[in-house]
Chain A
């Protein structure tokens, strides 16, 4: 904590800039994180241009080709087909898109809730802090998976419902983290200086304090995405996640269960893809934390 000099708001920007530059250098030194970042960029690129890069319509069956059995990779189908004759490469690509979309959106949603609640609680303190933290406690004490199942039933199996459900049940860690940072930051000299020159509460929150918490938020967010992706895949594995016929890596794994003995690509491909994406996010998050989190430097 002490390594960061407390300064007036004017020099705040440059201080932060310096931190970012140093952070970037540290991140670059983390070679695995860098490689993972590139890998993620590639996955994101594939997801964005999924429609252009899929060789086939991922939902189009070719039952004459498959004859009820998954077909091994071939010249025609690079990753083989499932038992409906659907191109597995196209499904994997579209599954990557769904998984990334759900994972990232759910985390953005949980950041929106978590940062707002954490910032308000930490900045204002008092009864508001008490109230918001009690609400956080309630959500922390709710058995999330049970509620997720009920919510999936209420909202119906749509992507948005899934994002909402995952986000709504996982914002608590971010809220606590942000609150903690606000609690300590609001006592710092530069904030007090801001108060003296008559900055409004909102300005103090958004301009003075929040930017100083960004690095921890980014780290927390990056490390939350894997959880969201794995939750989606677990729900889809149970048949309660992404609605068919759309592919998600989770429901592909669910569908591969019965082929585990006969068709290796059916479960290796989606399983390895999920693991790779999650792993990449974890490495990037790890690298970011080493780079941005002053406590570990």
Chain B
């Protein structure tokens, strides 16, 4: 197992290198450059001034020189300065990443906690009205655009009912400390978390349902049933455990989409996360930030899929990675 993990981690190195080079090149091809973002249209007539800005940003160097420089710096822990904010990228990202992880992680957890029982119920009551209702509802859930749901939720729950805040992560007016501040953040999290989780719950519960049906169709379950093992025992001991395995993979591969896909939700709820930062950086060709956000997301994706595989192996002793 350890050998497998090490091998996977080693494989991730060239993967990250390729992704970083690819992103670098693509940003380079895109029209416009960061220097333009600095120029006030009413003043920037002087070409020398623009050259100066390009020099200050290091944009006068050819792309391969800049890439190697970026790589060297990044590896030594210096992620440079954002072109846009002139702040250290580590600060820019470091301030926001925890917020995104908090929102995304909670949404994942909520989805998992809700999706598994829903899936189990509909699998066991296959073709019953419960199954149909659950399946239909969950499909409706995946089919509604999340920004639409978000806008609706704000109108209904934040403005009409006034149950939850409409924006932000913390109350600005009251300066809470200690427990109160935790509760305050939780209060702000509820709506965006539900919105983010909604799409997941639907897809996952469907997946859980089919995974369980799949397992229930297997010979060993039939055998167990045939031997007269009580239904509940079958469910808990055999079926569910095996049906959870594909779910783990699914959670693993959903991590990136929840985290980077949180962008729209983050914008609508003014949540101070990394999605917003990434998109602003793209539109301003802010290399250092684009690279940081892309690479962090890539690392996150690779790690979560590795974790999923490890969890998979742990949950299913039949799977061995040594020889593959």
Q: Let me know if chains A and B touch directly in the complex, using CB atoms closer than 8 Å.
A: yes
Residues in chain A within 8 A of chain B (CB atoms): 32, 134, 137-138, 140-147, 149-151, 153-154, 226, 230, 233-234, 237-238, 250, 253, 257, 260-261, 267, 271, 274-276, 278-279, 282-283, 286, 289, 295-296
Cα distance A13–B212 in the bound complex, in angstroms = 32
Cα distance A137–B23 in the bound complex, in angstroms = 15
- One digit per residue, 1 when the CB lies within 8 angstroms of any chain A CB and 0 when it does not, for chain B 128-148 equals 000010011001101111011
In the complex, what residue of chain A is closest to B214 when comparing beta carbons? Answer: A295
B136 & A32 in contact (Cβ 8 Å cutoff): yes
Residues on the B chain within 8 Å of A230, using CB: 145
Bin the interface of chain B by size: 35 or more
Q: Does B31 contact A (CB under 8 A)?
A: yes
Smallest beta-carbon distance B189→chain A, Å: 21
Cα distance A286–B207 in the bound complex, in angstroms = 11
B282 & A138 in contact (Cβ 8 Å cutoff): no
Residues on the B chain within 8 Å of A226, using CB: 142-143
Q: Which one, A143, A257, A275, A282, contacts B151 given CB within 8 A?
A: A257
Residues on the B chain within 8 Å of A143, using CB: 256, 260, 278, 293-294, 297-298, 301
A146 & B290 in contact (Cβ 8 Å cutoff): yes
A279 & B143 in contact (Cβ 8 Å cutoff): yes
Q: List which B129-179 residues lie within 8 A (CB) of chain A.
A: 132, 135-136, 139-140, 142-145, 147-148, 151, 155
In the complex, what residue of chain A is closest to B275 when comparing beta carbons? Answer: A145
A296 & B142 in contact (Cβ 8 Å cutoff): no
A150 & B15 in contact (Cβ 8 Å cutoff): no
In the complex, what residue of chain B is closest to A282 when comparing beta carbons? Answer: B139
Residues on the A chain within 8 Å of B293, using CB: 143, 146
B144 & A271 in contact (Cβ 8 Å cutoff): yes
Residues in chain B within 8 A of chain A (CB atoms): 11, 14-16, 18-19, 22-23, 26-27, 29-32, 132, 135-136, 139-140, 142-145, 147-148, 151, 155, 206, 210, 213-214, 217, 253, 256-257, 260-261, 263-264, 275, 278-279, 282-283, 290, 293-294, 297-298, 301-302, 305
A145 & B260 in contact (Cβ 8 Å cutoff): yes
Cα distance A141–B301 in the bound complex, in angstroms = 6
Residues on the B chain within 8 Å of A137, using CB: 15
Cα distance A141–B140 in the bound complex, in angstroms = 29
Q: Which one, A32, A147, A149, contacts B283 given CB within 8 A?
A: A149
Smallest beta-carbon distance B242→chain A, Å: 14
Smallest beta-carbon distance A64→chain B, Å: 30
Can you add 16 more A-B contacts, CB < 8 Å, to A141-B298, A147-B294?
Answer: A134-B14, A138-B18, A143-B297, A150-B30, A154-B31, A226-B142, A226-B143, A237-B264, A260-B155, A267-B148, A271-B144, A274-B145, A278-B144, A279-B140, A286-B135, A296-B213
In the complex, what residue of chain A is closest to B262 when comparing beta carbons? Answer: A145
Smallest beta-carbon distance A243→chain B, Å: 16
Smallest beta-carbon distance A278→chain B, Å: 4
B27 & A150 in contact (Cβ 8 Å cutoff): yes
Residues on the A chain within 8 Å of B148, using CB: 253, 267, 271, 274-275
Residues on the A chain within 8 Å of B253, using CB: 140
Q: Which one, A147, A234, A275, A276, contacts B23 given CB within 8 A?
A: A147
Cα distance A226–B143 in the bound complex, in angstroms = 7
Residue of A142, A143, A234, A278 ringed by the most chain B CB atoms within 10 A? A143
Q: Which one, B27, B30, B140, B155, contacts A275 given CB within 8 A?
A: B140
Smallest beta-carbon distance B249→chain A, Å: 11
Smallest beta-carbon distance B199→chain A, Å: 9
Cα distance A32–B140 in the bound complex, in angstroms = 13
In the complex, what residue of chain A is closest to B138 when comparing beta carbons? Answer: A282
In the complex, what residue of chain A is closest to B148 when comparing beta carbons? Answer: A271
Q: What 7 pairs between A and B have smallest CB-CB spacing?
A: A143-B297, A279-B143, A278-B143, A271-B148, A143-B260, A149-B282, A141-B301
Cα distance A151–B22 in the bound complex, in angstroms = 12
Residues on the A chain within 8 Å of B263, using CB: 145
Total contacts A to B, CB within 8 angstroms? 124
A233 & B145 in contact (Cβ 8 Å cutoff): yes
28 cross-chain CB contacts under 8 A: A137-B15, A138-B19, A140-B253, A140-B301, A140-B305, A141-B298, A142-B294, A145-B260, A146-B260, A146-B279, A147-B23, A147-B294, A150-B30, A150-B282, A151-B26, A153-B31, A153-B283, A230-B145, A237-B264, A238-B279, A271-B144, A271-B145, A274-B143, A275-B145, A279-B139, A286-B135, A295-B214, A296-B217
- Contacts A154-B30, A295-B214 hold; do A142 and B19 have CB atoms under 8 A apart? yes
Residues on the B chain within 8 Å of A278, using CB: 142-144
Residues on the A chain within 8 Å of B140, using CB: 275, 279
Smallest beta-carbon distance A14→chain B, Å: 26
Residues on the B chain within 8 Å of A151, using CB: 26
Residues on the B chain within 8 Å of A296, using CB: 210, 213-214, 217
- Contacts A32-B136, A143-B293, A153-B282 hold; do A238 and B27 have CB atoms under 8 A apart? no
Residue of B140, B148, B293 ringed by the most chain A CB atoms within 10 A? B148
Residues on the B chain within 8 Å of A150, using CB: 23, 26-27, 30, 282, 290
Residues on the B chain within 8 Å of A32, using CB: 132, 136
Smallest beta-carbon distance B166→chain A, Å: 12
Cα distance A125–B20 in the bound complex, in angstroms = 28
A147 & B26 in contact (Cβ 8 Å cutoff): yes
Residues on the A chain within 8 Å of B30, using CB: 150, 153-154
In the complex, what residue of chain B is closest to A173 when comparing beta carbons? Answer: B253
Residues on the B chain within 8 Å of A276, using CB: 143
Residue of B19, B32, B139 ringed by the most chain A CB atoms within 10 A? B139
